[in-house]
A and B are shown apart, each in its own frame.
Chain A
Amino acid sequence: MEPLNVYAARLITTKEYFTPGHRACQGCAEALAVRLVAKALGRDVIVSAATGCMEIVSSNLPYTAWKVPWIHVAFENAAAVASGVEAGLKVLMRKGKLPKKKIYSLAMAGDGGTSDIGLQALSGALERGHNMLFVCYDNEAYMNTGIQRSSSTPYGAATTTSPAGKVIKGQTTWKKNVAEIAAAHSIPYVATACPSYPFDLMKKVKKGAEADGPAYIHILSVCPTGWRIPPDLSIRIGRLAVETGIFPLYEVENGKYNINFVPEKLRPVEDYLKPQGRFRHLTPEMIEKIQNRVNKEWEKLKAKAGLCE
């Protein structure tokens, strides 16, 4: 990663395509991520959005937060709609019915609209090779419907359908790794990102959009409401996710892995888990289990990136 690890607003375009006035909660890093993605792509894009927080907060009829063309059809089909947008533009430009020019087709969905109900449409679109970018805004639960668990909810996290009960304490399964699933489609570009690292995020979005074929970017998007943290901690928590190795930032370019941020030593996962209300109930054993898992996954990733002896 470049040494620009401080947010310097002046280094980013002042143009807004996802404009203020939307109704996201205070401190919503998903909205921040959406804003950065929109800035990175500029005006020449058509956005196909899945149902979820970002759709609901931005398109309250008759208002819209979108200054770029935007369509929402349903929850599970953003990848399919974006496939259609791409195919439609292609044929219309080929036939001379639209002036030839690069217009990005962007699909956006939450973790539910990506890793659960939207996985089939996503896989289909990646396999068919549409020239489109799919961005998953992963806030690790179905936030729009009231913080229910998804397959992207991390182990131990309390949600309204994986509550911290007396017997079963929160999510019992490990987070599904959709970036790896996307990479298994052998598409030209896959990356993970986090708005706590805005320059890294925007660079990846541009790369993904310019890739020759489908691209997938998985963005960890801190949700203060669902994660039970004060809104002013969003950026901090995002950084901790990366610094603990819980959410490594990496790219897979034409099959080649590259970790963008390799700390000399990972911080203990506890630093990340402790401030969050959704992990309040974790026992020391559970924290240890998470630590072991993170260490193992980190080594696996490093091996893929050729960083192991």
Chain B
Amino acid sequence: MGKRVGMEVSIGAAEAVKLARAECIAAYPITPQTHIVEHLSELVNNGELDAEFIPVESEHSAMSVCCGCSAVGARTFTCTSSQGMALMNEILFIVPAMRLPIVMILANRSLSSPLSIWNDHSDIMSIRDTGWIQLFAENGQEVVDHVLFAFKVAENPNVLLPVMINMDGFILSHVIEPIELPDQDVVDKFLPPYNPVQRLHPDHPITMGAFAIPDLFTETKKAQEEAIKSSFPYIIKAWDELGNTIGRYYNPIEKYKSEGKKILFITMGSFGETVMTAIDMMEEKGIDVGLIRIRLWRPFPEKEFLDAIKDADILIVIDRAITFGGMAGPVTTEIRSVLYHEENMPAVVGFICGLAGRDVTPKDYERMVEIAKEKVKKGKEKEYEIYGVRE
């Protein structure tokens, strides 16, 4: 087992890509993702990672180059943020449809305008429906572990879908955390070389990316939907294997002091850690609140989620993006739809907060609990709130 050393999370992420023995990396710099690509190019140029680093001229080309690399059977990695992700948007939809097991870290950052380099989830929420397997990491160690995990899942012949690891910009990307990098031989055992089911090669020519007439299109999309739905057990299995290998076990839904609690926070990404602190503080004051963290966003772990919230009366959902003109934040809307057919539906109170890196402190979460109780008492839980906004 490796030992924990203090390192910037971005450096850890790049080291994990090296441990995964990625063969092709195509990326374009954008804050707050830059340190990952910089370190990767260093690793390649120093001969520490035998890979092709393709310094493309845009994110659109980054993902397009990745398609070419992955289609010939190379283990392929990229990373981006916000505007860069928006520029590659077109290709993001194509990758899962072509069943290319590319792994991407998205260092989450708000989308312009106004321009902001700081963290929220407006980027990822805008590409929810691209068909990627989507995960949220809460700390640096989770990022590192999930890079290895992501390749394992993506390249599983029963899955063959791209995997996106969401990592909050700055809050994670730029902080120094104690991180354990597993030893290479341990990783090699967990993650054997990529052995594609099929690849572009003259010895067995295939046509990829054909066009479909309306009579076939729906069937191809149904097949794609089946693919991501049926990836779920393989995702769980890969987490088990990861746990057995490195001793850290992960779940699609993570719980913190949630058993039997009537009020639960629902978070994704790094905000979970502050909420835990808030919960401990509230506990001392006799306020009983628990936390549910959604780690796996797509495919959505419906059963696990429902099981985790079954005793709750109030769910306080933390959204880090706005669905303009919609009913609530994107996660809140999703949670409501998951609950729709449940008999004892809890009240769902949505808060949008932490946009573009605005701080949300434990005290704020305590305040949200008060507001949520108040709203439920008044039967006004449907109205979501942009927390702390000056009007």
Contact = CB atoms under 8 A, between A and B. Distances in A.
Given A60-B211, A89-B72, A94-B50, A73 B58 contact: no
B42 interface: no
From B68, B213, B216, name the one whose CB has the most chain A CB atoms within 10 angstroms. B68
Interface string A285-296: 000000000000
A157 to B, nearest CB: 28
A84 B67 contact: yes
Contact of A64 (B58, B65, B71, B207): B207
Nearest to B205: A69
A265 interface: no
A44 interface: yes
From A71, A90, A105, A121, name the one whose CB has the most chain B CB atoms within 10 angstroms. A71
B209 A84 contact: no
A68 to B, nearest CB: 5
From B52, B55, B73, name the one whose CB has the most chain A CB atoms within 10 angstroms. B52
A72 B90 CA distance: 13
A108 to B, nearest CB: 13
B208 A124 contact: no
Nearest to B73: A92
Contacts of A46: 72, 200-202
Contacts of B26: 84, 87
Interface string B76-116: 10000000000000110010001000000000000000000
A67 interface: yes
Interface residues of B, number: 44
A61 B213 contact: yes
B278 interface: no
Contact of A77 (B91, B193, B210): B91
A77 B60 contact: yes
Given A46-B72, A62-B216, A85-B200, A55 B64 contact: no
B211 A88 contact: no
Contacts of A159: none
Given A69-B202, A80-B68, A61 B54 contact: no
A72 B210 contact: yes
A105 B66 CA distance: 15
A134 B51 CA distance: 24
From B61, B70, B91, name the one whose CB has the most chain A CB atoms within 10 angstroms. B61
Interface in A32-81: 43-46, 48, 55-56, 59-62, 64, 66-74, 76-77, 79-81
A44 B216 CA distance: 31
Nearest to B200: A69
Contact of B65 (A45, A84, A123): A84
From B51, B69, B216, name the one whose CB has the most chain A CB atoms within 10 angstroms. B69
Nearest to A68: B205
A120 interface: yes
A114 interface: no
B208 A72 contact: yes
A121 B72 contact: no
Interface residues of A, number: 50
Interface stretch (A95-103, A167-175, A267-275, A297-305): A95-103
Given A61-B220, A88-B24, A92-B23, A74 B64 contact: yes
B23 A88 contact: yes
A197 to B, nearest CB: 28
Given A84-B68, A87-B52, A91-B74, A73 B23 contact: no
A87 B202 contact: no
A40 to B, nearest CB: 15
B248 to A, nearest CB: 29
B202 A91 contact: no
A88 B72 contact: yes
Given A69-B205, A83-B68, A91 B52 contact: yes
A128 interface: yes
Nearest to B74: A88
A72 to B, nearest CB: 4
Given A91-B74, A92-B73, A81 B65 contact: yes
A66 B73 contact: no
Interface in A147-186: none
B201 A69 contact: yes
Contacts of B216: 61-62
B202 A71 contact: no
B373 to A, nearest CB: 50
Contacts of A98: 73, 201
A77 B50 contact: no
A82 interface: yes
A88 B67 CA distance: 10
Interface in B31-54: 50-52, 54
A124 B26 CA distance: 12
B56 interface: yes
B57 interface: yes
Given A60-B211, A84-B65, A95-B50, A44 B202 contact: yes
B212 interface: yes
Nearest to B209: A72
A70 B201 CA distance: 9
A105 B69 CA distance: 12
Interface in A97-128: 97-98, 103, 105, 120-121, 123-125, 127-128
A84 B24 contact: yes
A87 B73 contact: no
From A66, A71, A84, A86, name the one whose CB has the most chain B CB atoms within 10 angstroms. A84
Given A80-B61, A121-B61, A124-B58, A69 B206 contact: yes
B23 A91 contact: yes
B210 A61 contact: yes
A67 B204 CA distance: 9
6 contacts: A59-B207, A61-B213, A69-B202, A84-B67, A85-B72, A121-B60
Interface of A: 43-46, 48, 55-56, 59-62, 64, 66-74, 76-77, 79-92, 94-95, 97-98, 103, 105, 120-121, 123-125, 127-128
Given A59-B210, A84-B54, A124-B56, 17 more contacts: A46-B202, A48-B68, A61-B211, A61-B212, A70-B200, A70-B207, A71-B209, A72-B209, A73-B67, A73-B68, A77-B64, A83-B56, A83-B61, A84-B65, A87-B65, A88-B70, A121-B57
